[in-house]
Amino acid sequence: MEIFDFVGCGALNWDIFFEVEDLSIFKFEDLEIFPGREIVLKREKILKFLKFLEKKEKFLFECGGGSSANTIYALSLWGFKNTFLGAVGEDEYGKKILEEFENVGVNTQFILKGKNSSLAIILLDKKKDRFIAVSPGDSEETLSSFKNIFLNFGACFHFSSFASKSGQEFQKNLLSKINKKISFDPGEIYTQLGKMFLNPFFKKTEILFITEYELKEIDLTLDELFNLGIKKIFLKKGKAGAECYTQKKKISFSAFKPEKIIDNTGAGDYFNAGVLAGLKLGLSEENTLKLGIYSAGMSLRDFGRKGCLTKWEFQNCVNLLK
């Protein structure tokens, strides 16, 4: 059995970035578009939206995406040995998703293939506000055929959301069979499904990553989350930085600001990667939080995965924190 440091599980998207003038006034049919929000669209709708944007707005960039996928991508780029549980389509998007993973050394043998890959359209405006529309692919229907071989990995499992029902059911089934705790970032998609949906995840979670907005949405206090068995809660506060909570203490640091801010997409995922790397390397909670904040802040310098810390930058930061 191959040994891994981390096993990611969640949506594998192909992200397509467009620039618009102002998200607060942008309109497309009946879509509810608000800065900072994320919605799920059916395939026909997102393809129609994509054609509209290709004709009317400025194309910026495209790359692989998905919360856990971004975190595993970063950890692999930094030298950790990882694999991923998910699905892509037998299309050009799927080929590009796998190619990006393989280029940084992610083991892709447990990524299944179906019809269509998941797509995410990311709108950025002149004020650097962001809106995301996600459409899960048919490929996630193949997840029900997964075998249980990966349950013996012995690695750290990191979960993020699936937008499809088939992906969610697969993840819940997997969760019931893993005999260890996970790290978990529910994101906006899962927090919108409510406490009853999230409860099985929280009971199996040791490390929780969550934003202030998401914490408010689930309507649970930190004490209630700790009572479910969670050991560490990393609260992401955007421009205000981040906090680490245990039942005994709270650590707080302000955000790291790069010289130039281009895009904040995935910053929270790279924060997660920095924290998980810090914990794996045995850094103190204070230095682990600093590494997460630095990883998130530096990612703002470019679009998507282009802003991720290089292996040299990561190692240099770790050396300074030790």
User: In this prediction, what percent of the chain has a pLDDT beyond 90?
Assistant: 79
| pLDDT tens per residue across span 298-319 | 999 998 899 999 999 999 999 9
**Range from 170-179, 221-230, 252-261 that averages highest in pLDDT:** 221-230
Is 126 inside any structural domain?
A: no
- Does residue 257 fall inside a structural domain? yes
pLDDT beyond 70 at 24? yes
Q: Is residue 37 part of a domain?
A: no
Which CATH number fits the domain that encloses residue 156? 3.40.1190.20
pLDDT at 62 over 80: yes
Q: Which two tokens stand for residue 113?
A: 């293939």
Total count of domains within the chain: 1
Question: How does DSSP assign 142-166, residue by residue?
Answer: GGGG--GGGGG--SEEEEE--SSHH
Tell me the C-alpha distance between 154 and 263, whole Å: 35
How many residues are recorded in the chain?
322
Assign 261 a pLDDT band (cuts: 50, 70, 90): confident
- Residue 111 and residue 98 in contact, taking contact as beta carbons nearer than 8 Å: yes
Q: What is the 3-state secondary structure (H, E, C) of 74-86?
A: HHHHCCCCEEEEE
State whether the Cα torsion 78-252-258-17 is positive or negative: positive
81-123 pLDDT, tens digit per residue, is 999 999 999 999 999 999 999 999 999 999 999 989 999 999 9
Q: How far apart are CA 38 and CA 46, in angstroms?
A: 13
The answer, yes or no, to whether residue 246 has pLDDT greater than 90, is: yes
**Whole-number pLDDT of residue 176:** 87
User: Long-range contacts of range 93-99, CB-CB < 8 Å, 24 or more positions apart?
Assistant: 93/14, 93/117, 93/119, 94/14, 94/139, 96/14, 96/64, 97/12, 97/13, 97/14, 97/64, 97/69
Q: For residue 25, is it within any domain?
A: no
Whether residue 256 is contained in a domain is answered as yes
Residue 31: pLDDT band with limits 50, 70, 90: confident
- Report the distance separating Cα 105 and Cα 82, nearest Å: 8
Structural domain boundaries, residue 294: 6-12+65-115+137-321
Q: What angle do CA 207, 213, 214 make, to 5 degrees?
A: 45
In the 8-state DSSP scheme, what is residue 254? P
pLDDT band at residue 265, thresholds of 50, 70 and 90? confident
The residue with greater pLDDT, 304 or 159, is 159
At 137-155, the pLDDT tens digits run 899 999 988 766 556 667 8
Give the global pTM: 0.94
Confidence of residue 259 (pLDDT cuts 50, 70, 90): confident
3-state secondary structure of 15: strand
Please list the residues that pair with 82 across neighbouring strands: 6
pLDDT of the residue at 298: 95
Q: Please check the confidence at residue 71 and state whether its pLDDT lies above 70.
A: yes
- Under the banding of pLDDT at 50, 70 and 90, the label for residue 2 is low
Q: What is the DSSP letter of 308?
A: S
Q: What are phi and psi of 209, to 5 degrees?
A: -110, 125
Say what the pLDDT of residue 241 is: 95
Predicted confidence band of residue 32 (pLDDT cuts 50, 70, 90): confident
Amino acid 129: pLDDT? 82
Mind listing the pLDDT tens digit for each residue in 186-224? 999 999 999 999 999 999 999 999 999 999 999 999 999
Tens of pLDDT along 270-307? 999 999 999 999 999 999 999 999 999 999 999 889 99
